[in-house]
Amino acid sequence: LISPLFFVEMSNDNSFIARNWEELRRRARSLESDINTKLLNFSKLGSSLGGPPQLGVITDSEKRDSAYLSTSQNRFETLSLDIRTMLDKLNDINEQMSELIRGSAYVKNPAVCHTMERHRDILLDYNHEFKRTHANIKVLLEREVLFTSSVGDVGECKINLNNDGLNNRKNDFLLKEHDHIKSSDRLLEDQIGIALATKESLLNQKLGLKGVAKKLNTLTKRYPAVHSVMQKIHMRKRRLFWQTLNKLTALNIEVLQIRIGISAVLCLGYWLYFCLYQSWVILAAMI
């Protein structure tokens, strides 16, 4: 038989679990709210670095100032550390909640299971959002450092991005841009060369045609027989043109006459048919 003390102990355990569960849930909700606020500030930092200039927002020239970059870097590091710490605390609280309900009757409670899954999903979303924003802001800061170094402010800008390969990446980026510029110049030179060659070819063709026309004129003037032959050819072409035009005109007239004749015959036949039909109707009425 089960002792009554067993039920008393179970009741005490359940009340203890319920109190601790509510306390952990309260702490988890508070941390989630704080993390959400920190992530919003983190996103605003990225927008101030990468967004377009607006009223009340720091301009591009001010962004690339060493003091502003140093301030942005400090904010970046501070917010990153705070968010990481809070995410670790939230993860610990979720683990404590899982350990608390493990082996108890609350494991089979749908509401408790749903709440636990909800807190895990929120933690995963916050981790994903933090990693994405952290990577974007890091890239923006590296870009600003690169722009600052390009105008000779490397000595004044004392920013540590916690990345030993930053200088190598900057050099690689500059080398790639240099190669792209050289490739673009080469392509432009090739296109200009093709255009100049085409222009020269067209000029040569124009000069060649002018030379042929000049030679023909000289030939016709020097040899009257050739000139007369050319004139006869032109006259023959005109005569053939007018003859063809006259033939086509005569053919069109004949076709038009045929059409008029056919139309007249059809009209006459229709008129005769109508008259005969009317006569037949009158005779039928008289009979």
CB-CB neighbours of 6 under 10 Å:
10
Nearest in space to 73 (alpha carbons), one of 144, 130, 170: 144
- What's the rounded Cα separation, in Å, for the pair 35 and 140? 22
Tell me: the pLDDT tens digits for 236-279? 888 888 888 888 888 888 888 898 989 889 998 888 888 888 88
- What's the rounded Cα separation, in Å, for the pair 206 and 203? 5
Structure tokens that stand for 28 in this block: 């988890």
With 0-12 CB in 10 A as exposed, 13-18 as middle and 19+ as buried, what is 115?
middle
- What's the rounded Cα separation, in Å, for the pair 64 and 202? 53
- What's the rounded Cα separation, in Å, for the pair 24 and 158? 43
Tell me: the pLDDT tens digits for 161-190? 444 455 556 666 677 777 778 778 788 888
Which pLDDT does position 284 carry in this prediction?
78
Which pLDDT does position 8 carry in this prediction?
37
Nearest in space to 94 (alpha carbons), one of 29, 39, 144: 29
Predicted TM-score (pTM) of the model is 0.45
162 SS3 class: coil
Structure tokens that stand for 98 in this block: 């899982």
What is residue 164's DSSP assignment?
A: T
- Domains, in order of start, for the chain: 1-50+66-153 (1.20.58)
The mean predicted confidence, pLDDT, of the chain is: 76
Q: What is the total residue count of the chain?
A: 287
Tell me: the pLDDT tens digits for 36-87? 898 888 888 888 776 443 333 444 544 445 677 778 888 888 888 999 999 9
Decide if pLDDT at 89 tops 80: yes
Nearest in space to 72 (alpha carbons), one of 52, 50, 96: 50
